[in-house]
């Protein structure tokens, strides 16, 4: 029996050329009860959304199919997680805009705290959604305090957790606004242990299913 070790996540990215043509997005679980009066009572069962993808849409050639099969085997099916690039949502701002150190507000300093978690906020209305970003692209991360860029030597980013750690002599002061800009991947795993390919159907243009599901941090 092949058991996953304590570290059941591989810090590798799903083949990028396939991922950028995949499909998918966030899903939520909402429970809806219709009362005798016809009115509805709605309750969200999940605090966070969970993304699902079908990477099969990105497989256009036998070489790409072989690369995905190889990746699937190395991950042992559903056993190990990995990084996936969501073309629609992979940066701290809109896809058409460059990354800026002021893109996302992470919190306010208190003069003592050195560690801040990367996050992305969706919406500007009364109920914005704040998403934890656990798999940033390390070299892309830019940080600012009160709008002033922080030198890379003064803040370290853990690309495996998304946590920023300020140097002892660069701790944000009380009330200081800590912001960041970054690119990121989605932590996912395969949502199947069976990857079946019908080559005759593939040659006729049928797309194989390669379901992926987000691993919520």
Residues 6+ apart with CB under 8 A from 171: 109, 111, 112, 113, 114
pLDDT at 1: 47
pLDDT at 9: 97
Number of helices and strands in the chain (H, E): 3, 17
Asked if residue 147 has pLDDT above 90, the reply is: yes
CA dihedral 188, 189, 191, 196 (to 10 degrees): 120
Out of 28-37, 57-66, 109-118, the most confident range is: 109-118
For CA atoms 18, 20, 24, 27, the dihedral sign is positive
Q: Using the 8-state DSSP alphabet, how is residue 114 labeled?
A: -
Residues 6+ apart with CB under 8 A from 44: 28, 29, 30, 31
Q: What is the enclosing helix (H) or strand (E) of 201?
A: helix 199-203
Per the CB < 8 A criterion, the answer to whether 195 and 174 are in contact is: no
Q: Using the 8-state DSSP alphabet, how is residue 19 labeled?
A: H
CA distance 131 to 106: 11
| Of 133, 110, 135, nearest in space to 120 by CA | 133
CA distance 150 to 144: 5
Asked if residue 202 has pLDDT above 70, the reply is: yes
pLDDT tens digit sequence for 88-130: 999 999 999 999 999 999 999 999 999 999 999 999 889 999 9
Cα dist from 137 to 6, 8, 35, 181, whole Å: 23, 19, 47, 11
pLDDT at 217: 76
Confidence grade of residue 208 (pLDDT, cut at 50, 70, 90):
confident
| Of 188, 132, 136, nearest in space to 158 by CA | 136
Work out the percent of the chain whose per-residue pLDDT is above 70. 95
pLDDT at 20: 86
pTM for this prediction: 0.90
Q: Using the 8-state DSSP alphabet, how is residue 195 labeled?
A: -
What rounded mean pLDDT belongs to the chain?
93
Q: What is the enclosing helix (H) or strand (E) of 189?
A: strand 186-190
pLDDT at 204: 62
């Amino acid at each position: 029996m092949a058991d996953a070790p304590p570290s059941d996540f591989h810090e590798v990215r799903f083949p990028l050329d396939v991922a950028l043509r995949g499909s998918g997005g966030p899903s939520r679980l909402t429970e809806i009860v219709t009362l005798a009066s016809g009115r509805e009572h709605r309750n969200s069962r999940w605090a966070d959304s969970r993304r699902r993808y079908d990477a099969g849409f990105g497989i256009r050639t036998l070489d790409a199919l072989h690369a995905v099969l190889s990746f699937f085997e190395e991950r042992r099916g559903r056993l190990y997680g990995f990084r996936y690039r969501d073309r629609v949502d992979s940066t701290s701002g809109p896809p058409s805009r460059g990354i800026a150190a002021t893109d996302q507000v992470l919190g306010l300093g208190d003069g003592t705290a050195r560690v801040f978690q990367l996050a992305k906020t969706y919406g500007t209305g009364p109920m914005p959604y704040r998403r934890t970003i656990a798999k940033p692209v390390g070299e892309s991360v830019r940080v600012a305090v009160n709008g002033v860029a922080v030198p890379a030597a003064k803040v370290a980013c853990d690309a495996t957790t998304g946590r920023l750690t300020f140097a002892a002599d660069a701790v944000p002061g009380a009330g200081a606004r800590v912001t960041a800009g970054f690119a990121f991947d989605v932590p996912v795993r395969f949502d199947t242990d069976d990857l079946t390919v019908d080559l005759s159907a593939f040659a006729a243009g049928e797309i194989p299913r390669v379901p992926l599901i987000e691993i919520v941090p």
